[in-house]
A and B are shown apart, each in its own frame.
Chain A
């Protein structure tokens, strides 16, 4: 794919540099120098955000965008599940009430592509009057591009924040039993079992057991066996690798996890870990800030952040991601694009990273020593992040019925915790889901 903004000519490069220099002399912020930000002054944008620390950051600094562009922004944050439902219903109508939408690529990518709900941002990315020179395709992490681009190479939204799954570990509990951080799945099991002491209410491992929420846990383990849940449009959920991953999930969750884990979502896992009762917790890196908050946590300063241990066939950091895009039905597409560009700008990305609210997809932000210097999270967290980026792999399948996939597989996984046979449960769930997947693309 050839893109002008990716390969600037010498003249364009010089023009860009000159403009950058001039802008810095006039006091404009360098990151926003080359674009005619005031072009759409007076426009009003409706922005639909997911309730999250990412949404909070965008709202907190919204005034800066309004001052920069003269565009008025009305933004709204809605809890994740409700936001997804509301968005789909509105987008189906063809006349959504919002211009900009914050989406969860790992759930909605294929659905949005099939519905044609997001405007193609590729022409805007090529337009120097709309896009600052530092925003180039090569600046995005590979996972970000895999999320944002459709099969024809068009950008449906811009990659906003990535979430890698990591292993949180309690250094005190590990030290007390003389256990080292596990580097492989076998070591993970051994450590989890050694650290479990039901009599004192301490457990070696916790992860989501609740239906739907538990599917990414199993899918994460499956990546270590070298398989994704769907490959080339075909379900891999009853393959030997899937069954091995489910057996591992069953063992960890029945032998080393706290009682009642069957009903745990991330919040219950986080509570147990915050209380210092659990030695390891597998979940998204974005859940870290409360662990270092003395008002909420009993494990401040004791938490280790580790990259996902290596499986028998691969080491993979399960990857999830958010994007921010412009709706096809919007009549203010260019102004809305400016908002998206601002949202993933260096300044905003740095704020995201420094507060631990999210992780930008842009390498130029992640690798900037100045940005890193002011990160409030421990150094371990930053290291886990960089290490995860190197072995990043999309965790959930890029299909339309992601929620139904998570539910159907999730019920099978929950049954495992009650003692069911992994092979039988996965075969049953796969057969149940197969027609749903076939119908979705027909």
Chain B
């Protein structure tokens, strides 16, 4: 016992010393500095600057003056902004739902024992590897109402010519068609991962209980791949929301402003009209929209986790 007491004391002292060892901690700080500098320079500074610019009226080549929230007030009454918001929502929803449904079906097909499955899967994922601008140029030619191959193919089955991206009513669905063609493989790969990770036991039990194919899919497969589908939804949503290259290369937001999403609109404001202040305000609003939507989706993802 006599030896234990000093030992305890020493331990207590050590613990105390450890507590007070924060004097050693600053020596780790230099290791963090490069990362902090980079984050500050490429993330924090541009954001702070964008916020500052959004409170100014500044046309490139002209004078700059502080206007407070005037740019945001202008957004509220800007019809073109609200139209572009609607286009963004429609485009995003369609560009998420279509690849999700088709990608899931494709994953189920490729998960079965298909002959030459590996080769077919390889071919299926090829669109994902192509450059969006190159894809856009090829599809623009295919969509040409007079000379495009799509109208030719339709004529073979007795359907009249369509105007695709050259008509205000069909331009968004046509762009979504390209987006779907390119990104269905990504959803397929994610869902396929989910299918591969599924345990077999529930299926065996279901078979013993006499469940049919649809029931097995509806009550076992679907709930189990739902978290993976949510991952695909999050990735696709963020991607579709900020989609720029395909729309810009194919329609530049046209005909008229029928396919002008917020992204295209703010690009035009900032770099075609050189209205940097208003463009920055649009960027701030757009950023808030993306953050809100991402948080909502992350919350939904938590809800669909297997363990919940």
A and B held together in a complex: yes
Q: When each residue 251-271 of chain A gets 1 if its CB lies under 8 Å from chain B and 0 otherwise, what string results?
A: 000000011111110001001
> Contact between B256 and A211 (Cβ–Cβ < 8 Å)?
yes
- Interface-facing stretch out of A155-163, A235-243, A399-407: A399-407
Cα distance A417–B168 in the bound complex, in angstroms: 10
A211: which of B60, B147, B255 is its contact (CB, 8 Å)?
B255
- Which residues of B have CB within 8 Å of A411? 256-257
Q: For the complex, give the distance between the alpha carbons of A436 and B147 in Å.
A: 39
Q: Which one, B115-123, B190-198, B268-276, is touching chain A? A: B268-276
Contact of B167 among A117, A262, A401, A439 (CB under 8 A): A262
Residues of chain A lying within 8 A (CB to CB) of residue B161: 259
Contact in complex: B60, A414 (CB < 8 Å): no
CA distance A415 to B83 in the complex (A): 15
B interface: dominant SS? loop
> Is B164 among interface residues, defined by CB-CB distance under 8 A?
yes
Q: Which of B252, B256, B274 contacts A262 (CB 8 A)?
A: B256
Q: B147 and A272: CB pair below 8 A?
A: yes
Report if A114 contacts B (CB, 8 A). Answer: yes
Count class of interface residues, chain B:
20 to 34
In the complex, which of the residues B146, B251, B272 contacts A263, with contact meaning CB atoms closer than 8 Å?
Answer: B251
CB-defined contacts of A117 to chain B, threshold 8 Å: 61
Q: Using known A-B contacts A263-B166, A407-B268, determine if residue A271 contacts B144 with beta carbons closer than 8 Å.
A: yes
Q: How many A-B residue contacts, CB cutoff 8 Å?
A: 91
Q: In the bound complex, do residue B168 and residue A259 qualify as a contact, i.e. CB atoms below 8 Å apart?
A: no
Return the CB mask of A198-215 against B: 1 if under 8 Å, else 0.
000100000001111000
Tell yes or no: B176 within 8 A of A by CB: no
The minimal Cβ–Cβ distance linking A114 to chain B, given in whole angstroms, is 6
Let me know if A277 is at the binding interface, CB within 8 A.
Answer: yes
Instruction: Give the contacts of A172-210 with B (CB-CB under 8 A).
Output: 201, 209-210
A263-B171, A415-B256, A440-B59 known; A275-B146 Cβ under 8 A: yes
Q: Does B245 contact A (CB under 8 A)?
A: no
CB distance from B206 to the nearest CB of A (A): 52
B168 touches A418 (CB 8 A): yes
Contact, CB under 8 Å: A210 / B272: no
Contact partner of B61 (CB less than 8 A), chosen from A92, A410, A418, is: A92
Is there an interface contact between A111 and B61, defined as CB atoms closer than 8 Å? yes
Which range holds the interface residue count of chain A?
35 or more
Is there contact, CB below 8 Å, between B271 and A263? no
Please name all residues of chain A whose beta carbon is closer than 8 Å to the beta carbon of B167 when the two chains form the complex.
Answer: 260, 262-263
Distance in Å from the Cβ of A298 to the closest Cβ of chain B?
11
What residue in chain A is nearest B272 (Cβ atoms)? A403
> Residue of A at shortest CB range from B163?
A260
Q: Which of A387-442 contact B (CB under 8 A)?
A: 400-401, 403-404, 407, 410-411, 414-415, 417-418, 436, 439-440
Q: Which residue on chain A has the smallest CB distance to residue B161?
A: A259
**Shortest beta-carbon distance, B104 to chain A, in Å?**
33
A414 in contact with B144 given A262-B167, A263-B167, A403-B272 (CB within 8 Å): no
Do A211 and B257 touch across chains, with their CB atoms under 8 A apart? yes
Cβ of A85 under 8 Å from chain B: yes
Instruction: From known contacts A201-B146, A211-B256, A271-B147, infer whether A261 and B166 are also in contact, taking CB-CB under 8 Å.
Output: yes
Cβ of B146 and Cβ of A277 under 8 Å apart? yes
Given contacts A210-B252, A211-B254, 15 further A-B contacts (CB under 8 A): A85-B271, A209-B255, A260-B145, A260-B163, A260-B166, A263-B171, A268-B166, A271-B147, A272-B146, A407-B268, A407-B272, A411-B256, A414-B168, A414-B255, A440-B62
**11 A-B pairs (CB sep. < 8 Å):** A88-B274, A117-B61, A211-B254, A212-B252, A260-B145, A260-B146, A263-B165, A263-B171, A407-B268, A414-B255, A414-B256
Chain A positions near chain B (C-beta within 8 angstroms)? 81, 85, 88-89, 91-92, 111, 114-115, 117, 201, 209-212, 258-264, 268, 271-272, 275, 277, 400-401, 403-404, 407, 410-411, 414-415, 417-418, 436, 439-440
